[in-house]
Amino acid sequence: MDLAKVWKPDAGVNKIEVLQVKPSALKGSVILPPSKSHAMRWLVLASMDKSPTKIVMNEIGEDVDSMIRCLQQMAVKWDGQIITGGTLSRPISVLNCANSGTAFRFLLAQSATCNFPIMLDGDASLRARDSSLLIEALGVECSKGFGKENLPVLIKGPFVKESIEVDVSKSSQFHSALMLMAPRTKGFDLSTKGEAVSRSHSGLTWELCRLTGAKTPGQPWEVICPDVIIPPDASMMAFAKLAGLFCENPPDESDSIGHLSESLDLIDSNDLITPLAAFLALNQGGTITGAAHAAHKESNRILRTKGLLEQFSIKSQTTKDGLVIEGGQTPKTPDQIVRCYGDHRIQMTAIILATHCGAIIESPQLHKVAWPSYLEQLSKCGLQFKKAIFQP
């Protein structure tokens, strides 16, 4: 299929920008981006420290940039490496979290501690995600539009509850957001209900809180942040493994959140479902379990992963909490533009699958959410591609 033409700056608004990937033999190594999980948490913690904190990252993805930009709107200072926090000020405009569910939920909790209204919004993908459990747990004034979209939302504190019980069965981000807001409150009893998912992420949150002085979840503390170097994002190793590439900066085991292991139970690492499913299809096959909460990410990753594989003529079956994938399959050239559903991990997996057979993929910038240099590094490893436009 050759639906595309070389991209031109004057492309009309009715034309779709795509990525045209040719069959490519990849070899070499990549440098993993910094961990979003670590970066987001350190930024929020440092925003509560009145002393400057140095946070070093080898590149900054759009999700982390959204967090930084929104914090700056509330008077937190950032010069590209040094962050200086303190009392939050009322932003003069909406906090646009773009594609980042983590930024939205962490900022929602931070905003709930303020005695002035704050409006938060995001892109179409974020507007479709549900954070009502967190909003209900916070117990502050809240209003949003009607219909299927959950954003924008207008929230007004201050938070005054003495106890919170949060459901952790769909996402760990609600729990993390509440732990991170405690220094801006008078303190509250924090408990959880439901079978916890992504426990390594909530565990990381509490570990970093303790490193800055926390003693008990929900109780305030004086945040004293050390200077930090953000470790590599272990979850991105899955894409290197799928592509058959080495990692120049593999993370320490202690920093590995959601890394690709031999276990196919993803209860603590649902971000891996898409590249892992593709890897299994091309290799030994297998059954992915424990990923029911992947339905609440940028897209319903169980259904969307199956949909992505189908576009490359790869067979799989969905289950209530994962996928069953037959091994030894070979990707075939899709007969239509590959859809990515606004999900960067879908797009990044599609690019690797396309190296086997060629494909035209929508949303050519989507990887920049987490790994800005992804295409550039793959190009150095042999990826043949060009940006193009398609007119429906």
pLDDT (tens digit per residue) in 61-84: 999 999 999 999 999 999 999 999
- Is this structure's pTM higher than 0.75? yes
Average pLDDT of the residues of the chain: 91
* Host H or E run for residue 298: none
- The per-residue pLDDT for 9 is 45
What is the β-pairing status of strands 95-96 and 117-121? parallel
Residue 218 pLDDT exceeds 50 = yes
Enclosing H/E stretch for 237:
helix 237-243
Q: pLDDT of 264-317, one tens digit each?
A: 888 777 789 999 999 999 999 999 998 886 655 556 889 999 999 999 999 999
Please tell me the predicted confidence (pLDDT) of residue 150.
87
Question: Distance between CA 183 and CA 216 in Å, rounded?
Answer: 11
Determine the pLDDT at residue 59: 98
Are 5-32+232-390 and 36-229 the same fold in CATH?
Answer: yes
Return the minimum-mean-pLDDT range out of 193-202, 232-241, 369-378: 193-202
pLDDT tier, 350 (very low <50, low <70, confident <90, very high otherwise): very high
Least confident of 46-50, 146-150, 160-164: 146-150
pLDDT grade for 3, boundaries at 50, 70 and 90? very low
**Res 133 pLDDT > 80:** yes
**Is the CATH code 3.40.50.720 the one for domain 5-32+232-390?**
no
3-state DSSP call for residue 206? Answer: helix
Q: Output the pLDDT for position 146.
A: 65
Q: What is the mean predicted confidence (pLDDT) over 371-387?
A: 98
User: What does the pLDDT read at residue 15?
Assistant: 85
- Selected from 3.90.110.10, 1.10.1040.10, 3.65.10.10, 3.40.630.30, the CATH number assigned to the domain covering 36-229 reads 3.65.10.10
CA distance 310 to 344: 18
- The pLDDT assigned to 5 comes to 43
pLDDT of residue 258: 45
Residue 262 has a pLDDT of 46
Residue by residue, DSSP assigns 65-109 as: HHHHHHHHHTT-EESSSEEE--S----SS-EE-TT-HHHHHHHHH
**How far does CA 109 lie from the centroid of its chain?**
18
The string of pLDDT tens digits covering residues 79-118 is 999 999 999 999 999 999 999 999 999 999 999 999 999 9
Tokens linked to 199 = 């426990």
* Domain residue spans of the chain: 5-32+232-390, 36-229
- For residue 4, the model assigns a pLDDT of 44
Q: Is the pLDDT of residue 255 over 60?
A: no
How far apart are the C-alpha atoms of 307 and 359, rounded to whole Å? Answer: 15
* pLDDT attached to residue 192: 93
pLDDT band with cut points at 50, 70 and 90 for residue 182: very high
pLDDT for the residue numbered 149: 81
